[in-house]
Chain A
Amino acid sequence: DVKVTQSSRYLVKRTGEKVFLECVQDMDHENMFWYRQDPGLGLRLIYFSYDVKMKEKGDIPEGYSVSREKKERFSLILESASTNQTSMYLCASSPRLAGLGEQYFGPGTRLTVT
């Protein structure tokens, strides 16, 4: 089975802190994604990566950065956390360029910024 793991299920941070969310997949997938999910707004793409050291902005990249130094690991960084970044953060991976509809998600990190 494809397994996508995220470093924390729940996280509480203070405004202005630098926050690291880690995601690891064990199926040698080329593509990895970071989304956030908020009630009434659905799933929104923050960043994605189609190869090591490659990244592309999604719909809402402001306030976020990413890092992909190894194929299996994709990190999301909140440079200076703000209260409007309180959300559920979801990491996903996908096995190939064709077939991006087939994405495998991690359990999510519920981040609260106070």
Chain B
Amino acid sequence: DAKTTQPPSMDCAEGRAANLPCNHSTISGNEYVYWYRQIHSQGPQYIIHGLKNNETNEMASLIITEDRKSSTLILPHATLRDTAVYYCIARLNTGFQKLVFGTGTRLLVSP
């Protein structure tokens, strides 16, 4: 897996967009960018993934730069329940490679 770098913590006001950055400058051409989050004392939750194009689902949007060296996860209207640690992973989507979470970004959404 390519190394990823994320800020250790971020704050966001409830109702505002939360933009979580991730750097993955050594990503290879066939590695995907995956995002997970883990709310305290719960199992990790898959959010979204992408290769080159921007992706959107019911939870979030993923913006990947054209050179693929960085990406941003966007929670368009953050709620208190979005307070969690967010993990960015760059990896192949084939083969039995285990998931490896780095230290992630601790997002605190406040009223």
The answer to whether A and B come from one shared complex is yes
Interface residues of A (CB under 8 A from B): 4, 33, 35, 42-43, 45, 48, 50, 56, 58-59, 90-92, 97-108, 110
Counting chain A CB atoms within 10 Å of each CB, the highest count among B41, B43, B92, B99 belongs to B43
Set of chain B residues within 8 Å of A110, measured between Cβ atoms: 41
The verdict on A42 contacting B96 (CB below 8 Å), with A90-B43, A105-B44, A107-B42 known, is no
B94 close to A100 (CB less than 8 A): yes
Chain B, 18-68, CB within 8 A of any chain A CB:
32, 34, 41-46, 49
Residue of A nearest to B33 (CB): A101
The verdict on A103 contacting B99 (CB below 8 Å), with A98-B93, A98-B94 known, is yes
User: How far does the Cβ of A50 sit from chain B's closest Cβ, in whole Å?
Assistant: 7
Counting chain A CB atoms within 10 Å of each CB, the highest count among B94, B96, B102 belongs to B96
User: Binding site of B, secondary structure by majority: helix, strand, loop or mixed?
Assistant: loop
Set of chain A residues within 8 Å of B46, measured between Cβ atoms: 102-105
In whole angstroms, how far apart are the Cα atoms of A104 and B49 in the complex?
A: 13
B95 close to A108 (CB less than 8 A): no
Interface residues of B (CB under 8 A from A): 32, 34, 41-46, 49, 89, 91-102
B100: which of A42, A98, A104 is its contact (CB, 8 Å)?
Answer: A42
Set of chain B residues within 8 Å of A4, measured between Cβ atoms: 43
A–B pairs, 9, beta carbons within 8 Å:
A35-B99, A43-B44, A91-B43, A101-B34, A101-B49, A102-B34, A103-B46, A107-B42, A108-B43
B96 close to A100 (CB less than 8 A): yes
The verdict on A100 contacting B100 (CB below 8 Å), with A43-B44, A90-B44 known, is no
